[in-house]
Structure 1
Amino acid sequence: MQLPDLIERLFAHYGYLVLLVGLPLDAIALPIPPGNTTLAYTGYLSYKGVLSLLPAVAAAWIGSILGMTVTYWLGYKLGAPLIDRYGKWLFLKPAYLEKTRRFYGKYGNRLLLFSFFVPGVRQFIGYFAGIVRVPFRTFAVYSYLGSALWVLAFVGVGYAFGEQWEIVFGWVESSLKYISLGACALLGGILLLKWRQRRLRSRLRRFERESD
């Protein structure tokens, strides 16, 4: 039996269970096939009639939010106390954590919405939100909505493009990487500019005090 045939048969018999178990493992950052690929292939199998589209989307969404919820509570219950206790040994001073919390308060909810589309960020945003003690209700609203957008987008690629899904999927993956790099560069530039502005204001205040 060819490997693709074997995978297809596994999805035919256990496809929904694969999504319910595999996507939480992807969120926890275990070394399994990436969630983007799994979702696009799920859409393709729905196109072929191996899976039913709506149950597949539902299973994928439930699996995704289960994984995000687990990572949030791991960060909240385990990560936050460890950082509070041992953060100073890792140069994570309370002042830095407080600045991080304020930064998240400004931009974090929007990041939650789109973090699913960025491999590497998707796997750690839940831990991070738990560590900085984002209220669970806020986390759930934005992360669950972001998860729904992610699932619909990548299942849609596989379903809409059928036999050509791998070509389109490769283009989407490449585009997301460039967009992510550009966004990171833009964010880094904004943070650097704000840091320089704060230093300039601090120097001006010091100069004014010395002048008086």
Structure 2
Amino acid sequence: MNLFELVEQLFEQYGYLVLLIGLPLDFIALPIPPGNSTLTYTGFLTYKGIVEMVPAFGSAFIGAAIGLTITYILGYKLGMPLIERYGKWLFIKPSLVEKTQVYYNKYGNKLLIICFFIPGVRQFIGCFIGMIRVPYRTVWIYGYTGVAAWVISFFSIGYIFGEQWQYILNVVEHYLKVIFICLACSFLILLVWNRVKREKAKKLSNATRNE
């Protein structure tokens, strides 16, 4: 029995609890099965008439929203205390988190919607935005919008493309990884560029003061 046959069997036994429980597990870094595949296969099961669209989509959205909310609360309550205590072992200082918060406040809300599409990032975005104290109203607007967009997109792949869903999913995930690499490189370049600008400004200020 492969993974997707197991998911189908679980649907037969437990119904939409598969989504209500499975998707929150994806958000806490236990993607068994992976969220993208689960949503796409659920869309495929809807295409086959095995599950109904509205309950399936509603359960998927609620499950994913629960996962985001849980990780956000964990990050909000435990994030900074853990960084202050154990961050040095991971080379993460509280000052780095504070700087990251500044960048997020400037660029992050719209990126929050995109993050749900990227495996690996999705599992940690809730903890991250909780740790840097992103207001819950912002999470409600952008975070749950991102959740809805993610659920609709991958659910639709299975529902629209039917038997071809695995091929389409592989193509989509490949390009999402490329996009993630480009975003990560852009972020690193931005960090380096801002650091260089600060160093130049500091040297210029010191030179002016010495004259």
TM-score normalised to structure 2 length: 0.92
Runs of 5+ consecutive residues of structure 1 not aligned to the other structure: none
2:181 corresponds to 1:175: no
Separation in structure 1 between the aligned mates of residue 38 and residue 135 of structure 2, nearest angstrom: 30
Residue 95 of structure 1: how far off its partner (Å): 3.2
Q: How many Å separate the matches in 2 of 1:33 and 1:177?
A: 19
The alpha carbon displacement at 1:35 in A equals: 0.2
Q: How far 1:201 sits from its partner (Å)? A: 1.3
How many pairs are equivalent?
210
> 1:10 corresponds to which residue?
10
One-letter amino acid of the counterpart of residue 174, structure 2 = S
The answer to whether the 8 Å contact 1:80/1:130 transfers is no
2:77 and 2:121 mapped to 1: Cα distance? Answer: 20
Distance 1:164 1:91 in 2: 44
Please name the residue that 1:110 is paired with.
Answer: 110
> What is the CA distance between 1:44 and its match in structure 2?
0.3
Aligned to 2:191: 191
CA distance in 1 between partners of 2:176 and 2:86 (Å): 36
Is 1:12–1:51's contact at 8 Å kept on the other side of the alignment?
no
Displacement of 1:40:
0.4
- Contact 2:83 2:94 survives alignment (8 Å): no
Is 1:65–1:147's contact at 8 Å kept on the other side of the alignment? yes
CA distance in 1, matches of 2:41, 2:124: 24
State the Cα distance separating 1:94 from its structure 2 match: 4.2
| Matched-pair contact (CA < 8 Å) for 1:116–1:147 | yes
Secondary structure class of the residue paired with 1:117: coil
Gap change, CA 1:5 and 1:117, over 3 Å in 2: closer
Paired residues of 1:97 and 1:132 also in contact (CA < 8 A): yes
Aligned-pair distance for 1:92? 4.4
- The change in CA–CA distance for 1:63 and 1:180 in structure 2 (over 3 A counts) is same
Q: Structure 1 residues 13, 190: CA separation in 2 closer, same or farther (over 3 Å shift)?
A: same
**8 Å contact 2:83–2:93 — kept in the other structure?**
no
Secondary structure of 2:120's match? coil
Are 1:62 and 2:75 counterparts? no
> Pairwise CA RMSD of aligned residues?
1.8
Provide the C-alpha distance between the structure 1 equivalents of 2:174 and 2:89, rounded to a whole number of angstroms: 38
CA distance in 2, matches of 1:47, 1:110: 32
Match of 1:33 in 2: 33
Match of 2:122 in 1: 122
Q: Distance in 1 between matches of 2:93 and 2:209?
A: 29
- SS at 2:16 equivalent: helix
Shift of 1:77: 1.2
CA contact (8 A) 1:113 1:146 kept: yes
CA shift for structure 1 position 186: 1.8
Unaligned runs of 5+ in 2: none
Mapping of 1:91-110 within 5 angstroms? 92-110=92-110
- The structural deviation recorded for 1:23 is 0.2
What amino acid does structure 2 have at the position aligned with 1:149? A
- Per the normalisation by structure 1, the TM-score is 0.91
The match for 1:50 is 50
**Which letter does structure 2 place at the counterpart of 1:189?**
I
1:118-145 per-residue CA deviation (whole Å, 9 max, x = no partner) reads 1111000111111111111212221100
Q: Matched residues in 2 for 1:89 and 1:9: separation?
A: 43
Give the whole-Å Cα distance in 1 for the aligned partners of 2:194 and 2:52: 50
Alpha-carbon spacing, 1:100–1:187, altered in 2? closer, same or farther (3 Å):
closer
